[in-house]
Structure 1
């Protein structure tokens, strides 16, 4: 009888040891999966970069060529060139917005993008942007070229290539020369941007996904 009891105790101990070992294996397996997920998350850590830019835009179509929402009366499409940190010399840049001019302009003049804007880098990668709302004010500086000024938030909303999934912001710091002639004339409309405050957030490696 004692032998049977002793054998039972040995079998029970062996069972408990095996169950504990299986539990340990399951824990280690779960921990390993967590580590893999954690490594994947780390590989997608966002990288924050300071951003500066200098560029000029001109009218690319006659103002009012497209319709605007109620409350806005004039469209403007602008294209230009210049340079931007992390993009280099810009191949192209594009902006289309609606503003709210009146026969007797009352400041501020409100405006907003009606299409996603884009900055095209030297290698063709695109950084997309939007201005959700902005205000144009009279220029009060001492440069006789400028008559209007605005300094609104540009929001970056993705793009292509290395700017896929990008985000961030910048201040326009823009100065408007209304001009007296069309683009082919001697005194065309243009706007100079001197962006010295901004942040570009990218996900390294996202272009290859």
Structure 2
């Protein structure tokens, strides 16, 4: 009986040693899955900015770089605040003066896609994009001297620092005013999803 017991334990030990490897594949797979499964948090997002038109390019100008459906390219620098960022600077670069959208009542012109960057005081950046139509006139909640507005969807496409891997979306509520012809006014609301712990 002792011999059978010794053979049984010897076989069990050999089976365990043969069945194990230095690198346990199950642990490796779970480690990769845990790294991929970063915790994300979705929060409200608001930004309020005042922009200054700093550049206009037209067909034939060096730096125009727009599809033929657009008749101008606009550069805009802005300052303001955004939730989760504090005071920010923003840089807009977009093609505009496009065709009228038949689904919008009244005169309008298409713009976009707009590539823009919000930069926080600490240097973290948030990348966004939007596009739509600039519509002549104003909405009831706008100041009396508004001459054109755009209320279009935006998306958050990433960022750096705390905003690395960020996503999100929302709507713009932007306008131009007769009293401030050099400026544009931007009010954005939506949500932002960030990787927790960044």
Counterparts of 2:18 and 2:168, CA distance in 1: 46
Contact 1:172 1:193 in 2 (8 A): yes
TM-score (norm: length of structure 2) = 0.77
Root mean square deviation of aligned Cα: 3.0
Provide the secondary structure at the position in 2 that maps to 1:40: helix
Work out which of the residue numbers 167, 171, 193 in structure 2 matches 1:201: 193
- Where do 4+ consecutive residues of structure 1 move more than 4 Å? 9-12, 23-26
Provide the secondary structure at the position in 1 that maps to 2:70: coil
Is there any run of 5+ residues in structure 2 with no aligned partner, and where? 100-105
Q: Does 1:41 align with 2:33?
A: no
The alpha carbon displacement at 1:63 in A equals 4.8
Matched with 2:102 is none
Work out which of the residue numbers 48, 51, 62 in structure 2 matches 1:57: 51
Aligned length: 186
Matched with 1:108 is 108
Matched with 2:163 is 163
The answer to which structure has the higher strand fraction is 2
Provide the secondary structure at the position in 2 that maps to 1:33: helix
Counterparts of 2:31 and 2:193, CA distance in 1: 24
What are the superposed Cα offsets for residues 56-78 of structure 1, whole Å, 9 maximum, x if unpaired? 11201235363221111111111
1:57-206 matches, within 5 Å, as 57-64=51-58, 66-67=63-64, 68-90=66-88, 92-101=89-98, 107-113=107-113, 116-131=115-130, 133-138=131-136, 139-141=138-140, 143-177=143-177, 179=178, 187-195=180-188, 197-206=189-198
Contact 1:167 1:202 in 2 (8 A): yes
TM-score (norm: length of structure 1) = 0.73
What are the superposed Cα offsets for residues 12-34 of structure 1, whole Å, 9 maximum, x if unpaired? 534541244347756x9444334
Provide the secondary structure at the position in 2 that maps to 1:52: strand
Mark the CA change 1:23 to 1:173 in structure 2 (over 3 Å): closer, same or farther: farther
Contact 1:95 1:113 in 2 (8 A): no
Q: For the pair shown, which has the larger CA radius of gyration, 1 or 2?
A: 1
Counterparts of 2:185 and 2:94, CA distance in 1: 16
Is there any run of 5+ residues in structure 1 with no aligned partner, and where? 180-185
Provide the secondary structure at the position in 2 that maps to 1:61: strand
